Amino acid sequence: MENVNIHKTAVIHPGAKLSPGVSIGPYSIVEGNVTLGDNVRVGSHCVLTGQTTIGRNCKIYTGAVIGSAPQDRKHSADDNVFLNIGENNVIREYVTMNPGTLDGGGKTIIGSGNLFMAYSHVAHDCVIGNNCVMANAATLAGHVTLEDNAVLGGFSAVHQFTRLGRLSIVGGCSKVVQDVPPFAMVDGHPVKVIRTNVVGLKRSQISEKSIKLLNKSFKILFRQGLTKTHAIEKVIAEVEASPEVEHLVFFCKTSERGLCS
């Protein structure tokens, strides 16, 4: 293995694929079906296992367990399942991530530029976009989707098959049992829509006009007591179209678990 830095106490299976610039700290274990991209940094006492691929420039801190078997009673050790992690992710202390299950398509997929704070958990068959944040001890059950730039507060728990929309933010210690709309700020037990995520929208350079259109859409969807179908129809009829409004409408139309109130 050329141009890699492996501590003498680390245990690396000869079948593991390590790209140039990889660094592995003391007492960490890398098993045979793991692939590490360029410049991946692995701290001490980490376990990288399963059919796991980790993209370049990811940083993995002490005690993380990445790729261990899904916590699903139907899973068999012989199942051909995967965990695919993109580039430039920061995976902090004691984070756990599981691969997919056969029933869920066989893959857990994580994009790029995400921050997983200490003790957070990504369960089987989750799909996480880019530039998301999971704060300390936030937990995703199986089959959860996080769209780009979603933020999940510390100690929050997300029910299986739930979606968190783009640029949404969930307050700490929240219970998420239904879909969180894009661009929303939600909080509670279970969560309720508070307002649009104005700070996140501005940081993402969404125009003031689009923010005003989203505010109008949110009032119709969540403040007028309409059914979901009627509220969506009213948004389409009364709110000027913009990429953000169109994404919000599409998300709401395709919600299977229902939207948080």
* CATH number of the domain that residue 24 is part of: 2.160.10.10
Q: In what order do the strands lie in the sheet with 157-158?
A: 11-12, 29-30, 47-48, 65-66, 96-97, 121-122, 139-140, 157-158, 175-176
Looking at residues 215-222, what average pLDDT do you find? 97
Catalytic residue status for 121: no
Assigned domain for 117 exists: yes
Please determine, for residue 100, whether its predicted confidence score (pLDDT) is greater than 70: yes
Assigned domain for 177 exists: no
Please determine, for residue 1, whether its predicted confidence score (pLDDT) is greater than 80: no
Assigned domain for 260 exists: no
Assigned domain for 139 exists: yes
Assigned domain for 188 exists: no
Catalytic residue among 25, 125, 129, 154: 125
Domain of residue 240, residue span: 202-253
- 30/113 same-domain check: yes
Domain with residue 244: its CATH number is 1.20.1180.10
Please determine, for residue 145, whether its predicted confidence score (pLDDT) is greater than 70: yes
Looking at residues 164-172, what average pLDDT do you find? 98
How confident is the prediction for the chain on average, in pLDDT? Answer: 97
Please determine, for residue 170, whether its predicted confidence score (pLDDT) is greater than 80: yes
Catalytic residue among 45, 75, 121, 124: 124
- 208/113 same-domain check: no
Looking at residues 170-176, what average pLDDT do you find? 98
Assigned domain for 181 exists: no
Half-sphere exposure of residue 152: CA atoms within 13 angstroms, side-chain side = 35
Please determine, for residue 110, whether its predicted confidence score (pLDDT) is greater than 70: yes
What total of structural domains would you count in the chain?
A: 2
Assigned domain for 54 exists: yes
Catalytic residue among 50, 86, 142, 165: 142
- 243/120 same-domain check: no
- 113/212 same-domain check: no
Please determine, for residue 256, whether its predicted confidence score (pLDDT) is greater than 80: yes
Looking at residues 211-233, what average pLDDT do you find? 96
Looking at residues 126-145, what average pLDDT do you find? 98
Looking at residues 227-241, what average pLDDT do you find? 96
Q: What is the pLDDT of residues 178-202, one digit of tens each?
A: 999 999 999 999 999 999 999 999 9
Q: What is the pLDDT of residue 2?
A: 67
Catalytic residue status for 200: no
Q: What is the pLDDT of residues 11-42, one digit of tens each?
A: 999 999 999 999 999 999 999 999 999 999 99
> How would you write the chain as a 3-class SS string?
CCCCEECCCCEECCCCEECCCCEECCCCEECCCCEECCCCEECCCCEECCEEEECCCCEECCCCEECCCCCCCCCCCCCCCEEEECCCCEECCCCEECCCCHHHCCEEEECCCCEECCCCEECCCCEECCCCEECCCCEECCCCEECCCCEECCCCEECCCCEECCCCEECCCCEECCEECCCEEEEECCEEEEEECHHHHHHCCCCHHHHHHHHHHHHHHHHCCCCHHHHHHHHHHHCCCCHHHHHHHHHHHCCCCCECC
- 211/127 same-domain check: no
CA distance 41 to 19: 11
Please determine, for residue 217, whether its predicted confidence score (pLDDT) is greater than 70: yes
Q: What is the pLDDT of residue 261?
A: 84
Catalytic residue status for 50: no
Looking at residues 141-160, what average pLDDT do you find? 98
Domain C-terminal end among 107, 126, 143: 143
**Cα–Cα–Cα angle for 137, 31, 118, rounded to 5 degrees:** 15
**Cα–Cα–Cα angle for 81, 86, 92, rounded to 5 degrees:** 95
Assigned domain for 178 exists: no
Please determine, for residue 216, whether its predicted confidence score (pLDDT) is greater than 70: yes
More confident residue, 77 or 23: 23
